Amino acid sequence: MTDDTTSTRHACSYETDANGVVRWSEAHADAWIGLLETHKQLTRALDAELTAQHGLSLSGLELLARLAAADDRHMHLTALAGAASLSLSRVSRIIATLEERGLVERRNCPADARAVHAQLTDGGLRLVVDAQTTHFASVQAVFFDQLDGDEIATLARVFGRFAPQAADQCDAGG
Amino acid sequence: MTDDTTSTRHACSYETDANGVVRWSEAHADAWIGLLETHKQLTRALDAELTAQHGLSLSGLELLARLAAADDRHMHLTALAGAASLSLSRVSRIIATLEERGLVERRNCPADARAVHAQLTDGGLRLVVDAQTTHFASVQAVFFDQLDGDEIATLARVFGRFAPQAADQCDAGG
DNA sequence: GTAGATTGCTTGCTAGCGCAACCATAGCAC
DNA sequence: GTGCTATGGTTGCGCTAGCAAGCAATCTAC
């Protein structure tokens, strides 16, 4: 933490003005509010592009991508929800729309009659490959190309700490 | 960028497997997917806490906080939308709900009959102060306490680059 | 002045999201 | 076997979000 802020410092990284309104130190404001704002702008742009080019939301691509990376290209809906940090109800509905487009199929799980496999179809796999090709290039252009190697390493270390398994077995771009 | 990944490297930071499925390098996956996942988990937890304790969403607090920081504690809705990166329609509706709770008032702008000032009330200011006090402590606990000074500085530099004005004139925690 | 374009805001619509309620199956205690 | 609980999934609902259409006021060109 830098010590060259002009304002009085608490033990904490924020302070209050004369009205009691709380204010971050400059570095903390840039880091936290900048994180929120950067996420908002990048995901908005990337989602719009993905929708326009492939008719997929970021969540839809993430589910398809996780299926593509899975053994035999199928997963239980609960496992998908856990991997993607989405509610089961949301996954159920996203899979329904993907199923209408023929990108996945619901199949009964032979080992558990309650469970459903979401099975990626050949057409779904083709779409994943197409969509990720353009999507990854966009993430590279809008995000990684603005960073140097040290910065990428720091972000990887920091966000890997917060979300340890997020990238595991995942080709998801979003 | 580290050079010790085990996989073949392209000029780019991602590659394709035998099926053509795209995969990030490990550092890039941790950085990008970790960013998405970290944002999702932190904002979900913080928003839930803010809703439970103060009946405010992160967006609602951000609008109130920007009003609290503004001269005379009022702003045009368009300015609020721009500052918070929200659509004008969304701001209009959020202000409507805040108005029902007596936290802000819509006032005709004397200089432009089309425009509306969102004016923070005294009760709104008190709520901002209360809500930010707990909210900032939570952000400190769940986010900054997991980072060292160098990491915070790097995040501030990086996200300040993507979202240069995001934190300006803003006491927003969300 | 007046016509047309622009700006500020509101509202109808649709999509994404999670929670809670619900149903069916599975597993466990007995 | 019979219950009781837990798990997997679906659906109703309410919330947030943005887009597009619409309205009123302003500005510009003439």
Tokens representing A127 are: 């779409």
Average pLDDT over residues A103-120: 95
Which CATH number, 1.10.10.10, 3.30.460.80, 3.60.15.10, 1.10.287.1080, labels domain B54-133?
A: 1.10.10.10
> Shortest CA–C1' contact from A93: which nucleotide?
D10
pLDDT of residue A88: 97
Residue in chain A nearest B33 by alpha carbon: A167
Say yes or no to pLDDT of A1 above 50.
no
* Nearest by CB: B146 against A27, A41, A162: A162
Q: What phi, psi does B115 have (nearest 5°)?
A: -85, 160
pLDDT single digits (tens) B26-70: 889 999 999 999 999 999 999 999 999 999 999 999 999 999 999
C-alpha B157: how far from chain center:
17
pLDDT of residue B1: 41
A160 CA: distance to closest CA in chain B (Å): 5
Global pTM value: 0.88
Which sequence spans correspond to the domains of chain A? 54-133
pLDDT of residue A170: 56
d(CA B6, CA A167): 16
Burial A22-36 (b: 16+ CB within 10 A, else e): bbbbbbbbbbbbbbb
Contacts of A13 in chain B (CB under 8 A): 140, 144
- Residue of A13, A159, A168, A169 to mutate, testing the B interface (most B Cβ within 10 Å of its Cβ): A159
Q: What phi, psi does B9 have (nearest 5°)?
A: -105, 135
For residue A20, name the pLDDT band (cuts at 50, 70, 90): confident
Tokens representing B91 are: 């701001």
* Nearest by CB: A158 against B24, B140, B151: B151
d(CA A6, CA B93): 38
C1' of C21 to CA of A22 (Å) = 41
DSSP annotation of B26 reads H
- Report helix angle A26-54 to A122-142, nearest 10: 140
> In chain B, which ranges are E strands?
14-16, 22-24, 74-76, 104-109, 112-120
Q: Which residue has the tokens 């009085």?
A: A8
d(CA B163, CA A174): 20
Interface of B with A in 99-128 (CB under 8 A): 125, 128
Average pLDDT over residues B124-141: 95
**How many C-beta atoms lie closer than 10 Å to residue A102's C-beta?**
12
Mean pLDDT score of chain A? 88
Strand B22-24 and strand B74-76: the pairing is unpaired
Binary contact (B154, A159; C-beta < 8 A): no
d(CA B116, CA B112): 8
